[in-house]
Amino acid sequence: MAALHARSANGGVKAREELNFGGPNFDIEDYSFVNIAAEYEVNPHLSIFGRIDNLTNEHYAEVFGFPALGRAAYGGAKVRF
């Protein structure tokens, strides 16, 4: 019997000021992102899965000077014996 399992997650942060001790402070822009994942069980021995992080390809930095990755996709198959 085939089955589909899916999940999504979203998050966001409001704009804030990043403190830089010994130098000027920086403003961090607000941002939001969406991640999705799914797994499809073809039969009891085989399933395929996939995931997309940052679906909207939002450009943001959680810490000034260290930008987050852009959109990324992952996939694969699971075989059970």
Rounded to two decimals, what is the model's pTM? 0.68
Task: Say if residues 38 and 52 touch (Cβ distance below 8 Å).
Answer: no
Neighbours of 29 (CB within 10 A): 11
Nearest Cα residue to 78 out of 41, 42, 46: 46
> Over the chain, what is the mean pLDDT?
82
43 Cβ partners below 8 Å, 6+ apart? 1, 2
Tens of pLDDT, residues 46-79: 999 999 999 999 888 777 778 888 999 999 999 9
Task: Show the domains of the chain with their CATH numbers.
Answer: 3-79 (2.20.200)
Tens of pLDDT, residue by residue over 3-34, are: 677 787 777 666 655 666 666 666 767 778 88
